[in-house]
Structure 1
């Protein structure tokens, strides 16, 4: 079971989210520590007292304010024996409760303009620590300044306050999850483009290189390395092709000399050597065909029906002399664009291959933009159908072929953007089908 490749989601989404959460918690903690002055002066009056006071203040018939001892106010007084407050309504009427410090006794003017404040005493017992809030109660809207239960802010309280960060983090997470794939896809658009370019590179598109434009700087060394590798492959490919062409041309001369000497030899020697020389000559031509394949582009419109009949007519005398037969069947032929010599070699090789492997009756069938060669030989086992297209592979050890025929067929067909398949014939034997794109 192959290992799955790591995804970019973890480094680009999950890790930034965790980083944002940690930074948010740390930042908020520091902010709270500074804001609330945890190091000292962290004592303040519980704000809930102003709500209790507002509910306890009523209005008399003459409009003046009065304090009634509600259960909540009684509880507040027991919790803070030094409880005091001063309240002012919207008409400026005042009411006080408890011992109001002289510093706040004349603060009614202050209550007219300020609706929210915390006042802190600098040292214990914090008698001047107070809170100002504007509240609504039975007597209407009141602005209240008061001193009650003192609360001390600790680091623990500040850390619990980080719960405020959770909604912020969830929003950041949602934005990150939605936006990060869009940002990543946009940033890696160049990578996607060069991946498509790479898919189009094959043996028939040598010289093509991956574009380095609009590629992320981090990916650029990889693209450059791939292009360098393609350069080296092209050089090796051309070196191999030059070797094949040179070898084939060098073989032609000794083969020609052998043919001359055979013709001058006696009949027995001539019969013995003619077949061997013919095989050498065929091997030489096939090597040259591999070289010519790159030099000749598919640039001619080919009528498959006429082409098949002409090739079969050229091969018929040889097949008849060997006691074989060949037949051409045509149905709805379509023209294709190709190189006539290369396609002729494909059909010739397929017919010769059918005859060499035991076929007595060969049928060349043309249909649409494809042709197929059917024989009545022993057939090709399914497990061998991919191997027979390899160079110098022989299905049977005693085969008289060179081992290049079907390899050349596949290369020519792929050069023409077509494909070749091997099938079972209905009555036994083999069908080799070659399909092209109609022009």
Structure 2
């Protein structure tokens, strides 16, 4: 399975890499400018001045003297020709090493020069010096020191790295913390659009995704989805109108044909009543497909009374074809639903049982369940999911349009129930419908007859 791309890489990691490259290029360019702007010469490395201050001590009379420390001794190994002049605020001073003659006049006058950098022409002429103020064992001192020297290029490169590293770390930290928050807020509209898309279904059409809540870059996608939904709704509406019109057109000639057959004397003509009834059922099933899209009025349903009414309506037709139907009522409870839809469900199940080999059909009502049992050949376990698909027949030459069980499942699903196909005790098929209990009824209603 291909890994789905994430916005984390293009919105966080890539900008971070480009920021780093931009910083490196900018500081490298700045370094080159500083090097070219420099007039040349050598600088003393400034770390020697604080080391020298720590080596200056004060005696009991307040005079300054040099007491080399281990750190000072180590620094002299790198710069054997090091020297310095140190002076306090009272004018006391001390020197160390070979102070160049040009700087001798500054002895005793350093207090007026708190900061400065002097270059040397050559690396070994000893003229490169730094003037700084530092605190040490002898107090705060102004020190002019010459230690290890180097060119400006090395100093600038070091300074560039010292400056670049914390800036890059701060930039990386801000990018890693702030960018996900910014991205999440920017895509909040996309999450809202996703929630709207999840609400779209065959029974909830007309919903459109909000285009104003998403970023401009995603608007074309949302617009295209809305246009596609418009086309789907238009096609669905055309299909609904066709089914409704076809079913209504079929009902009239079927009704006329049924009346003529019922009035006929010939047994052959009267035997066509079953086929006419089948056509009438098909027309009603097509109308049921049309009705599924309309939310009907829900009311309290007494399943026992409804099952008896359906059985009474279908009994003459079934008896005429040599079949029987019976209703067994056990303790049951009312349910909330569309009476007409549940009535058509029971009718479809009874007719389906009669058409598929059942000679004796039993409708059983128990609790909030309805079971329709027959003594036919049954439905193989491997086919029990497929028979709920539209226009599916268990056997190729079987009568019927293959819509009955599909309509049953759609209606029960809309009512929040569940349909199960089981084996009947006598080897036939048993279709069980489980409906949710009435939300306004807290205790079971026990009825054995009319409820």
What TM-score, normalized by structure 1, do the two folds share? 0.83
Distance in structure 2 (CA, Å) of the matches to 1:118 and 1:342? 98
Which residue of 1 is the match for residue 363 of structure 2? 363
Structure 2 unmatched ranges of 5 or more? 440-451
Which residue of 2 is the match for residue 286 of structure 1? 285
Q: Alpha carbons of 1:184 and 1:149: their partners in 2 closer, same or farther (altered >3 Å)?
A: closer
Shift of 1:192: 1.1
Residue correspondences, number = 433
1:28-83 deviations in Å (ceiling 9; x for gaps):
44455556778554731022322443344344453322346778767766765654
Which residue of 2 is the match for residue 328 of structure 1? 328
Distance in structure 1 (CA, Å) of the matches to 2:15 and 2:437? 51
1:78-115 deviations in Å (ceiling 9; x for gaps):
7656544221023221223423443572374443562x
Which residue of 2 is the match for residue 431 of structure 1? 431
Which residue of 1 is the match for residue 14 of structure 2? 15
CA RMSD of aligned residues (A): 3.5
Distance in structure 1 (CA, Å) of the matches to 2:253 and 2:73? 125
Distance in structure 1 (CA, Å) of the matches to 2:252 and 2:72? 122
1:379-438 deviations in Å (ceiling 9; x for gaps):
323332332122221112232222121122233334x34244223246353323243573
Distance in structure 2 (CA, Å) of the matches to 1:372 and 1:176? 64
Distance in structure 2 (CA, Å) of the matches to 1:295 and 1:69? 99
Paired residues of 2:53 and 2:134 also in contact (CA < 8 A)? yes
Q: Secondary structure of the residue that 1:218 maps to in structure 2?
A: helix
Which residue of 1 is the match for residue 63 of structure 2? 64
Q: 1:146-295 to 2 correspondence within 5 Å?
A: 146-154=145-153, 158=157, 162=161, 165-166=164-165, 168-259=167-258, 262=261, 267-271=266-270, 273-295=272-294
Distance in structure 2 (CA, Å) of the matches to 1:409 and 1:34? 83
Q: Secondary structure of the residue that 1:400 maps to in structure 2?
A: coil
Q: Secondary structure of the residue that 2:227 maps to in structure 1?
A: helix
Q: Decide which moves more: 295-304 or 159-168.
A: 159-168
1:422 and 2:420 matched: yes
Shift of 1:152: 1.9
1:410 and 2:370 matched: no
Distance in structure 2 (CA, Å) of the matches to 1:160 and 1:183? 33
Structure 1 unmatched ranges of 5 or more? none
Which residue of 1 is the match for residue 337 of structure 2? 337
Q: Alpha carbons of 1:246 and 1:78: their partners in 2 closer, same or farther (altered >3 Å)?
A: closer
Q: Alpha carbons of 1:204 and 1:38: their partners in 2 closer, same or farther (altered >3 Å)?
A: same
Q: Secondary structure of the residue that 1:365 maps to in structure 2?
A: strand
Distance in structure 2 (CA, Å) of the matches to 1:238 and 1:112? 95
Q: Alpha carbons of 1:181 and 1:136: their partners in 2 closer, same or farther (altered >3 Å)?
A: closer
Q: Alpha carbons of 1:417 and 1:183: their partners in 2 closer, same or farther (altered >3 Å)?
A: farther
Distance in structure 2 (CA, Å) of the matches to 1:409 and 1:78? 98
What TM-score, normalized by structure 2, do the two folds share? 0.81
Q: Alpha carbons of 1:154 and 1:331: their partners in 2 closer, same or farther (altered >3 Å)?
A: farther
1:291-329 deviations in Å (ceiling 9; x for gaps):
233356234333334333433343445556634342333
Which residue of 1 is the match for residue 392 of structure 2? 393
Q: Alpha carbons of 1:371 and 1:71: their partners in 2 closer, same or farther (altered >3 Å)?
A: closer
Distance in structure 2 (CA, Å) of the matches to 1:383 and 1:281? 31
Which residue of 2 is the match for residue 382 of structure 1? 381
Paired residues of 1:354 and 1:362 also in contact (CA < 8 A)? no
Q: Alpha carbons of 1:113 and 1:148: their partners in 2 closer, same or farther (altered >3 Å)?
A: closer
Distance in structure 1 (CA, Å) of the matches to 2:331 and 2:191? 44
Paired residues of 2:412 and 2:418 also in contact (CA < 8 A)? yes
Q: Decide which moves more: 351-360 or 26-35.
A: 26-35
Shift of 1:345: 0.6
Shift of 1:271: 4.2
Shift of 1:181: 3.1
